[in-house]
Amino acid sequence: MAEMNAAERFALIKENLQEILNPDIIEGILAEGRNPKIYWGTSPTGKPHCGYFVPAVKIAQFLAAGCDVTILIADIHGFLDNLKAPIELVEYRAKYYEYTIRAMLQAVGVSTEKLRFVLGSSYQKSPEYVMDVYKLCSLVSEHDAKKAGAEVVKQSNNSPLSGLLYPILQVLDEQHLDCDVQFGGVDQRKLFAASTEWQPKLGYRKRAHLLNPMVPGLTGGKMSSSEEESKIDLLEAADTVRKKIRKAQAAPKEVENNGVLSFAEFVLLPASALKTGRPEFRVSRERDGLEPLVYHDIKQMQEDYKNDILTPQLLKPAVAEALVELMAPIITAFEASKEWQEITLKAYPPPEKKKKEKKQKDKGNRYPGAKTAETAELPLREIGVQEPTAD
C-alpha cells in the first residue's frame, strides 16, 4: 500500500465514516505529499473490549494510509471521572490501554511505527497549556461551551463544572498535540464544530474532523444484571466468545441496529482488506452441505440477510470465528509479555470479596462512550460504539 496516491489515501481515510468536517484541510496536506497528523482520545477508565475494534480498525486504516496517528490516553480525565479510581490505578490502566490498542492494531496487520501514545498528564498540566485553558475560557461563552458538549457531557444544573471545561480541553488538545485532524464518534459533532470556531480565537489553525457513525454493540440487547455477558473482553477465551455471540441479539432479516452484522461491516471486512488487500468475509455452510457464502462488501451481505439467505444461525458462528481469529495474535502477545500481564493485575486487581466485586463491575463499565450509563457523568471520549441501554 506504500504506493497509494493522494486520492487513494483519502479514500482509505474516509472509508466507512459518517461525515468529515473541513475535508479540504486533509486533501491539501495529501496533495502536498505530506502525512496528515490525526489524533484520537480515549480515557483509561474501564477495560477495553471488542467494541474498541471499531475505532481501532479506522485507526489502522489511517496508519495504512500513511497518516501520523496520536492516541491520547486521557489519564487526567480518567482520574477526574468522579475521582473514584486512585491516580495510581489510572496510570496502570493507561499502560494497559497502550498495550491493548497497540496489539489490536498489530492484529490487523498494520505497522504501528507511526503511532504515538501520549499521556494527557504529560502536557495538560504545563504552563503553556494552562494559559490556553484560561484564555479560551475567557473567550468562549458558557452557552457555547454547553452547546459544544451537549451530546458528550451529561448536562444538568448539578453536573460537575468539569463538564463545561472538557470541550475546552479537548479542543486545545488538537493544538498541543500538534495534530491536523481529530477523529471521534458523530456524537462529538458539536464539539468538533466548536473547534473550528474556537481555534482561530487563539490564533491557532482550524482542524479537520473525521466522524465515525454510532455502531451498535456486538452483543446487542439490553444491559442486564449479568452484564459480563454483554461485553467481550479482548483476551476472552475462544469458547466464551462463541457462546456470547451465539446469545447475541440479531433478529432475522433485520439489518438495522444489528450489532453482529455491523461488526462485520465496520471491523471484519475492513480488517481483512488491511490484511489481504481485499475485503472478504466467508460464511461456512458445510453443515448444510452447501458452498460457503463469500462476501466482498457489506451491501451483498445486507441483501442476503434481508432475504434470510444469510440467517442469524449462519452469520453468528462466522462472525465468532473471524473475531476469534482477529483476537488470536492479541492473546499470543499478552501471553508472551510478562510486563503486560503484571500491568493487567495492577490495573484491574481481582475483587477481594463478593461485595466489592459489584463495585468493581460498575467501574469496568465506564469506558469511553458509555455515556448512556447513568453513572457516567463526565464527558469521556467516544469510541463510536453504542452501548446497550438500560430501560
Interaction site with a copy of itself (CB under 8 A): 76, 80-83, 124-127, 130-131, 134-143, 145, 157-165, 168, 378
Per-residue b/e over 212-246, b at no fewer than 16 CB within 10 Å? bbbbbbbbbeebeeeeebbbbbbbbeeeebbebbe
Give me the least distance between CB of 144 and a copy of itself, in Å please: 8
φ/ψ region of 231 (left if φ > 0, alpha if ψ in -120 to 50, else beta) reads beta
Q: Which residue, 129 or 348, has its beta carbon nearer to a copy of itself?
A: 129
* Nearer to a copy of itself among residue 145 and residue 267 (C-beta): 145
Would you say 84 or 285 has its CB closer to a copy of itself? 84
What CA–CA distance (Å, rounded) separates 125 from 122?
7
Q: How far apart are CB 373 and a copy of itself at their closest, in Å?
A: 17
Q: Min. distance of Cβ 170 from a copy of itself in angstroms? A: 13
Distance CA 229, CA 240 (A): 9
Cβ contacts of 224 within 8 Å, gap of 6 or more: 230
Residue 265 per-residue DSSP state? I
d(C-alpha 95, C-alpha 385), whole Å: 22
In the complex, the smallest distance separating the C-beta of residue 200 from a copy of itself, rounded to whole angstroms, is: 14
Nearer to a copy of itself, 60 or 136 (CB): 136
Q: How far apart, in Å, are the Cα atoms of 186 and each of 163, 232, 339?
A: 18, 23, 35
Residue 124 C-beta: closest distance to a copy of itself, Å: 8
Minimum separation from the CB atom of position 166 to a copy of itself (A): 9
Is the Cβ of residue 62 or residue 198 nearer to a copy of itself in the bound state?
198
> In terms of Cα–Cα distance, which of 178, 103, 165, 163 is closest to 136?
165
Q: What are phi and psi of 262, to 5 degrees?
A: -65, -35
**Closer residue to a copy of itself in complex, CB, 143/278:** 143
Q: Smallest distance, Å, CB 347 to a copy of itself?
A: 21
| Beta-strand pair 208-212/19-21 | antiparallel
**Beta carbon nearer to a copy of itself, 159 or 257:** 159
- Tell me the closest approach of the beta carbon of residue 71 to a copy of itself, in angstroms: 21
Query: Judged by CB, which is closer to a copy of itself: 147, or 243?
Result: 147
Q: For residue 77, how many other CB atoms are within 10 A of its CB? A: 27
11 vs 131, which CB is nearer to a copy of itself?
131
Give the Å distances, CA to CA, from 210 to 178, 207, 255: 16, 10, 25
The closest alpha carbon to 168, from 203, 209, 131, 205, belongs to 131
Residue 265 corresponds to which cell in the numbers above? 461491516
Sign, CA torsion 301/305/307/309: positive
Give me the least distance between CB of 130 and a copy of itself, in Å please: 5
